Amino acid sequence: MNILLLGSGGREHAFAWKIVQSSDCTQLFIAPGNAGTAEIATNVSISVTDFEGIRDFINSNNIDLVVVGPEEPLVKGLVDYLQNELSTAKTPVVGPSQLGATLEGSKDFSKRFMQRNNIPTAAYETFNPDQIEAGIVYLKKQKLPIVLKADGLAAGKGVLICLTLEEAISSLKEMLLDQKFGEASSKVVIEEFLTGIELSVFVATDGKSYKILPEAKDYKRIGEGDTGLNTGGMGAISPVIFADAAFMKKVEERVVIPTVEGLAKENIPYKGFLFIGLMNNEGDPFVIEYNVRMGDPETEAVLPRIESDFLGLLHGIATGTLDKYEMKISPDYSTTVVMVSGGYPGSYEKGFPISLPKSSEGSEIFHAGTTRNSKGELVNQGGRVIAVTGKGKTLNEALTNAFETVKGINWEKAYYRKDIGQDILNLMK
């Protein structure tokens, strides 16, 4: 197979790393990719939202499978576009239709979907600018804290957890009337605050059958002890010990099956990954959100645990033959530590040369925001720069392997959290 993978993050480097291990991979192209993907496959300089450019590349390179990494092209309708073009109508694609991608693109849409399909989630109501007074009345009746969510995509910043009524009212006004998050906050979901421990569950589906991938826990905040600003993710671990077999059975019965059946029943075409953000509330799962792609950095922790042919999984999703795929998952631990540019998630300097270690035994180095400068040196160009995944028979061993490699990677002002996995190690004591 000739494969075109879209994206440029650590998630896509991990996808590429798995895909090239498959004997069915003839050629892998990544658009636009990063300095890491360039070492194992061919980067092509096409933006993930250049639909015509993607179509033309598929045609001129005999692409047999397209794999979409990030949400933006999905929410903008790439899959529908390729299906409606004569020349690419038959090309299998991993990624949901635009309607399916609305599960991530609109919080109101996803809440209504959950409600219709009896999927457990926080109680909520949605308001637009004309309903501001009703929104304030609603807020006054709710318990604190209360959660306000911009309806649309807001680069991970559109969720506010308000501790006081005053804060909630002024935030609601800012979002609806002052367009705090632009078009994304032209509708606001007001939602009950859920307590418990959060985890991410990943499902592959071809619209009929499904496979549950290894679950993971993400470390979202920039500072140790989960403090400071939210980021795209500073680390991940898999498996998650508080997601035991009994809990995962509830997730499958109460969330995964009703979601996949709901998509089919409502004629929402969906061939792709579904990332379910869940709260484990005293052993019961509640959906916080859907994303229509794999998580980053969760992918870098999850994929090393998949022992069966990953390209086979992708092909099964895209061609509607997932029921024939047998997934094999390693019981080993996998832990990912993300190294970021100093200053991230605020502003940061780019272009510092990165030195990598000679050996990285027991671990894999995935690139995210890296590129090569005019001298050919590896330099940082994004906020999240490198993700290192350690593997081990125990969580401790996996963490040691990850951090040993991280210590050998340097550039000016590099930063990482040293406490990834510590909370779980403490729980295990």
Identify whether the C-beta of residue 333 lies closer than 8 Å to the C-beta of residue 398.
Answer: yes
Overall residue count recorded for the chain in this entry: 429
Q: Is residue 295 near ligand GLY by the rule CB under 6 A?
A: yes
Task: Pick one of ligand AMP, ligand GLY, none as the site partner of residue 233 (Cβ within 5 to 8 A by kind).
Answer: ligand GLY
Task: Pick one of ligand AMP, ligand GLY, none as the site partner of residue 198 (Cβ within 5 to 8 A by kind).
Answer: ligand AMP
Element (H, E) at 3: strand 2-7
Instruction: Pinpoint the alpha helices (H) of 224-288.
Output: 245-250, 257-265
CA–CA gap between residue 200 and residue 240 (Å, rounded): 9
Nearer to ligand AMP, 124 or 416 (CB): 124
Nearer to ligand AMP, 191 or 296 (CB): 191
Distance of closest approach, residue 199 Cβ to ligand AMP, in angstroms:
10
Distance of closest approach, residue 427 Cβ to ligand AMP, in angstroms:
18
- Member of 9, 73, 158, 233 binding ligand GLY (CB under 6 A): 233
Angle at 81 between CA 76 and CA 83, to 5 degrees: 135
CA–CA gap between residue 178 and residue 390 (Å, rounded): 45
Going from the C-alpha of 117 to that of each of 125, 195, 292, 293, 378, the distances in angstroms are: 17, 22, 18, 21, 48
Angle at 250 between CA 256 and CA 117, to 5 degrees: 45
Distance of closest approach, residue 202 Cβ to ligand GLY, in angstroms:
10
Distance of closest approach, residue 168 Cβ to ligand GLY, in angstroms:
24
Nearer to ligand AMP, 156 or 343 (CB): 156
Site residues for ligand AMP per CB under 6 A:
122, 147, 156, 159, 191, 193-194, 198, 277, 288-289
Nearer to ligand AMP, 23 or 195 (CB): 195
Instruction: Report the candidate in 286, 265, 266 with the shortest Cα–Cα distance to residue 277.
Output: 286
Enumerate residues 6+ apart whose C-beta is below 8 A from 299.
10, 11, 14, 15
Task: Pick one of ligand AMP, ligand GLY, none as the site partner of residue 364 (Cβ within 5 to 8 A by kind).
Answer: none
Distance of closest approach, residue 272 Cβ to ligand AMP, in angstroms:
18
Letters for 298-317 (x = contact with ligand GLY by CB under 6 A, - = none) are: x-------------------
Nearer to ligand GLY, 80 or 300 (CB): 300
Locus of tokens 């367009």: 179
Q: Is residue 289 near ligand GLY by the rule CB under 6 A?
A: no
Distance of closest approach, residue 89 Cβ to ligand GLY, in angstroms:
30
Q: Which parts of 209-228 interact with ligand GLY (CB under 6 A)?
A: 218
Distance of closest approach, residue 102 Cβ to ligand AMP, in angstroms:
15
Instruction: Report the candidate in 212, 207, 213 with the shortest Cα–Cα distance to residue 318.
Output: 207
Strand pairing category for 2-7 and 27-32: parallel
| Residues in touch with ligand GLY (CB under 6 A) | 218, 232-233, 291, 295-296, 298
